[in-house]
Amino acid sequence: MGFNPFKSVKKALGGLTTFATGGLIGGGGGGGGGGGGEPINQFMLEADAQIFLERERAKLTEETRIAADERAAIQREEDLGIFNTKLDQGFNSALQTGTDFFSREGLDLDRFLPLLTERLNTTRQGVPELSSNPSSFFDALLTSQNIVGDELTRDRRGFNLDIDAFAGDNFANNLIPGTFDDSVIAQILSEQFGDASSGITRARDRGSLSDFGFQSAFSNLENQNTAAGARLQDLGGGILETNRNALRDIGGQARSRADAFQFGDSFDPASFENRINTTFGEQQGRLEGDIRGALGGESLFNLSDILARAGSAQGTQNNVAQSPALLASIAQRDEERRASRGIGTQGAF
């Protein structure tokens, strides 16, 4: 039978009343006469009774609170056990769903399962305690898809960084600078300049040019040298840019493959680096032949014009009186001889 605080209060008050009426208020104690005790102060008696009552009430309230707390603690422990069971079930179900998804996609479980476990644990920590439906916080399929998307982005970014190492900004211009063809141009220019010089010398040796005419011809030859060099620079520059574009195209193919990469694809950026190096080597080997081929049979120096101008300039000095037409005819024969030897197209291919 449980504790009844009201019964205790009632008993205590009864005892207090008995004490007051039988002990102190009683009239005479055994012998009759005259009354031996002091009168009881009724106000003090009521005050003491009220204090006692409040104490008993407070005691009852505290005992009731403790009992309620104990019941609440027991209930919370039961609820927490149910919550944790549901939370574990939600976590495990999500983990299995993600595992099945990765397997269907043919993905490496050793790579993706740790990532999924980490994210599910993060989700688990964010589930409100004692939630009635903790499983609803786990969106396993979406989480798995997000992981795949994030990892795909990470791999693609990594591939592009690899490509940057060999095909970054201006890589083609760095491999093939504007001066890359200078030695070839200098060689071709020197050859044609030498041929034109020889033609002038032969004209003098035949007596077609005086010393003055000879000097005048060389002066004209020097004047054409700048234009000849510019012509070769234009031809060479076009070929260099074509070669650069070929290298850029390979680099662009590598980036396109990297940006479109999907798990399961076979992609190695190094293979594109090898292609660039191989193509660049081939371009180096045929550069002279490409420039000579672009020039074809074109003469960079107009020997006919040079000799004609020299003939006009020399007049009849040193008793030489060759007409510009005759000098032009001689120059034309030299030009034909040079063309028959393939002067403009000689060299490596």
pLDDT digits (tens, 9 = 90+) for 84-114: 999 999 999 999 999 999 999 999 999 999 9
pLDDT surpassing 50 at residue 318: no
**What's the whole-number mean pLDDT along residues 296-311?**
93
Token pair belonging to 55? 């104490």
- Of the pLDDT bands very low, low, confident and very high (cuts 50, 70, 90), residue 314 is confident
267-286 mean pLDDT: 98
Given a cut of 60, whether residue 41 has pLDDT beyond it is yes
Output the pLDDT for position 204: 94
According to the model, what pLDDT value does residue 90 have? 96
- The token pair at 24 is 């102190």
**For 107-151, what is each residue's pLDDT tens digit?**
999 999 999 999 999 999 999 999 999 999 999 999 999 999 999
Rounded to whole angstroms, how far apart are CA atoms 222 and 333? 21
What is the distance between the terminal CA atoms of the chain, rounded to a whole angstrom? 117
A 10 A CB-CB count for 102 gives 21
Confidence of residue 31 (pLDDT cuts 50, 70, 90): very low
At residue 259, φ and ψ (nearest 5 deg) are: -70, -25
Q: Which two tokens stand for residue 74?
A: 């027991």
Q: What is the mean pLDDT of the chain?
A: 85
Amino acid (one-letter) located at 208: S
Residue 21 has what pLDDT?
A: 44
Rounded CA separation 198/220 (Å): 14
| Whole-number Å distance between alpha carbons of 212 and 268 | 69
Q: Of 20-34, 102-116, 142-156, 293-307, where does mean pLDDT reach its minimum?
A: 20-34
pLDDT for 201-252, tens place per residue?
Answer: 999 999 999 999 999 999 999 999 999 999 999 999 999 999 999 999 999 9
Least confident span in 54-63, 164-173, 184-193, 285-294: 54-63
pLDDT score for 328: 53
Q: What is the pLDDT of residue 246?
A: 98
Domain ranges of the chain: 63-168, 171-345
Cα separation, 102 vs 104, whole angstroms: 6
**pLDDT beyond 90 at 153:** yes
User: What's the pLDDT score for residue 49?
Assistant: 85
Q: Indicate if the pLDDT at residue 23 is higher than 80.
A: no
CA nearest neighbour of 163 among 256, 230, 86, 74? 256
**Amino acid, single-letter form, for residue 185:** I
Kind plus residue range of the DSSP H or E element containing 255 = helix 211-259
> Alpha-carbon distance 137 to 8, whole Å?
54
Q: What's the pLDDT at 335?
A: 59
Q: What is the sign, positive or negative, of the torsion defined by CA atoms of 99, 104, 110, 111?
A: negative
**Residue 302: strand, helix, or coil:** coil
Global pTM exceeds 0.75: no
Token output for 333: 């024969």
Distance of CA 16 to the CA centre of its chain: 89
Give dist(CA 51, CA 45) in Å, integer.
Answer: 10
